[in-house]
Structures are given as C-alpha cells and as structure tokens.
Amino acid sequence: MSERDDTRDPRDRPPDPAGTRPKHDPEALVPATSEPLVPAAVDTTAVDEDLGADTAEGGGSADLLPERIAAAGAPAPSERSDDHAPHAPRFQFLFGALVTLGIAALATVVIIAARGPQDAGPAGPAWSEWHPASDGSSAPEQIAQHVGREYRLSSGDQLVLVTGGALEVAGTQLTIALRKPANQGGDISLVDGKGVLYRLCGLGPKCSINKGKPSAARKLLLHREALELALYTFRYTDADHVVAVLPPGRPKNKPNKVLDPNEALFFRRGDVEAELDHPVTSTLTRTTPLPTTFNSSPDAGLVERLTDPRIFQFSLSPGNLENRAYLVLQPFANQTQ
C-alpha cells in the first residue's frame, strides 16, 4: 500500500469525505426578524423583591417592568360579565319542570301510602268471583238475578224469584220508619240514606213458595239468601241499607193457609262491615246448601247470628201531604216458611 499523497490540491478533494458537515446552513434556521421572542406567558403579577429594591435605591421607576402581555392563543376576556348564555332560559325551564314532576311523584307515593295497600293494587284475592257489570242503578237487578239462581230446592228448581231496585213501590219513594217494641220505649225513628229493596217471590199465592215442603231450615235458607244479597249490594254499590221482603209464611197450626206478606230483613252497612273486608267465601260457603242440607252447613250458625236480630214485620203507610210512603219496620215473631 502506497503512502498517502498530500501534495494534491485541496480543491480536488471531496467536499465532505466523513459526512460531518451539516447539510443546511445553520443561519437559515434563525428567523429573519430581529425582534426578541416573547414567551408564551409572562407572569406580570409578581415582581422580584430584589429587583424592586434595587430600582428604588437607584431612583428607578416601576415603569421599567415589562407590560402585561396576554398569553398566546388565549381569548380576550369578555367586556360584559353579566351576559347570560343564550340557552339559559331554556335550561331553567327544563330544570323547573323536572322539579315539578319530582314533587308530583313524591305526592303520589305519599297518597298511596296513606290510603294503604288496598288502594295500591290487587294485593289479595278478589272479594267474589262474580260482580255486577256496573255500580249504577242496574246493579241491584244484576245482583238479584245472580244470587237468586244460586238457591235451589231439593228438586233442582229455583227457590224464589228475586227482583231488586230502588227503595220504592209503584214509583213512590219509601222512607224507612223503625219502631222499637214497647218494652224498649216504643220510639219511632226515620232512617236516612240510600236504600235498595229486594223482593223474594215463590210464584205461589201472595208470592208464597208453591213447591216443596215448608220447614224451619227452608226459612233460614231464605235468610241466608237475603244476607248474600245485602253483602253483594254493600260491596258493589253505595247503598246505605238493604231491605229484603220475604215470601209469606204459614201458621204452624194451619199449614195450608197463606198469610199476607209481612216479613222483611233489614241490613245497614255497618251491620256487616267486618264481612265486607274479606272474600264472601269466608262468610258463606262456596256451594249454596239446599233446604235439606242447610242445618249441616258450616255457615248455618253465622247466618243465624247475622240475620236473627234483623228480622222485622213490615207495613206500608202512605204519607199525608207528601209524594212518598213509609216502610214501617218493627220486631217480628218468626213464622214457618
């Protein structure tokens, strides 16, 4: 290998044999302007304490401090600080509406809690499997048809025909007048409120039962039917009292003689209030007994207890100068039906 020849002209050498020379001129990277660069943000609220002291001693002025310069890219502050956002009224309205809905929902919850679980929804079994189609003036007639078809003689025939409606006779309004027995003072009191009248007719003479054999059990079965009519009426209508007129009875010593109709059962709502709080099948058996099976029925004792104090002898007394009549009710001695 020959020795390195350094006698060549330096201009003949390659411009940058080692590749260390910059490819760009460093001076070209410097901005052309000669103004000093301003930092992005200058803290103008703080002054160096030493600098301030030196300026004061030298007679300098604080005006030598640089002026406040806004940060680069920061928007200028609004001149009116009390301007509202353009959508503020809309948001305020929506907020108020939400608050109102919240208060209404809370009030609904409080009302439901105050009424109790029975108003909040069907929390328990229905009071009865059947109910009238409406609670208007036609409800008593619907109740009469439904209950009447449930009571049968041993032969399978319906026990009595039942009709129901307002407390009136031939379009004349009836007002109940209760007469106490003489040993209880004999006072007469009028009964206020809305009443319903049911008529039980056996389709025999004077509406007597023209089939089967009269018996005490059959009479109690009629009392049970009157009780069931009253329960349905109080449950599904706004009636205050119920009167059920029974078929006429027969004297014990003259079984072939038919008496005039004069027996009725009278119920007030308060008389059976407890029975209205639970299903009707808790009071009366689901299967209606026959006259021959009533005495062995599980509800026979309850029927006697609820109906015996509410058996009355009735009579009609027309008003003197009024377009109404009085339905007079007084304690009645039981007779065989």
Band of the pLDDT at 320, cuts 50, 70, 90?
Answer: confident
- Which residues is 324 bridged to in the sheet? 173
C-alpha torsion 93→97→99→100, nearest 10: 130
pLDDT of the residue at 294: 97
pLDDT of the residue at 278: 94
Strands 263-268 and 195-201: unpaired
Tell me the angle at which helices 300-307 and 216-236 cross, rounded to the nearest 10 degrees.
70
Band of the pLDDT at 119, cuts 50, 70, 90?
Answer: very low
On whether residue 319 sits in a domain, the answer given is no
For the chain, what is the domain count? 1
Query: Regarding predicted confidence, which is higher, 65 or 297?
Result: 297
State which of 17-26, 45-54, 143-152, 323-332 shows the largest mean pLDDT. 143-152
Mean pLDDT of 92-99: 65
On whether residue 53 sits in a domain, the answer given is no
Phi, psi of 34 (to 5 degrees): -100, 0
On whether residue 266 sits in a domain, the answer given is yes
- Which residues is 152 bridged to in the sheet? 158
Query: Regarding predicted confidence, which is higher, 254 or 121?
Result: 254
Query: Per residue in 214-237, is it b (16+ CB within 10 Å) or e — as a string?
Result: beebbbbbbbbbbbbbbbbbbbbb
Mean pLDDT of 315-335: 83
On whether residue 131 sits in a domain, the answer given is no
On whether residue 227 sits in a domain, the answer given is yes
Band of the pLDDT at 253, cuts 50, 70, 90?
Answer: confident
On whether residue 37 sits in a domain, the answer given is no
CA pair distance 218, 157, nearest whole angstrom: 14
Which structural domain, as residue segments, surrounds residue 225?
A: 139-170+193-313
Contact indicator for 231, 283 with CB cutoff of 8 Å: yes
pLDDT digits (tens, 9 = 90+) for 258-288: 889 999 999 999 999 999 999 999 999 999 9
On whether residue 320 sits in a domain, the answer given is no
On whether residue 288 sits in a domain, the answer given is yes
pTM for this prediction: 0.63
pLDDT digits (tens, 9 = 90+) for 10-55: 555 555 555 555 555 555 555 555 555 444 444 444 444 444 444 4
Mean pLDDT of 168-176: 93
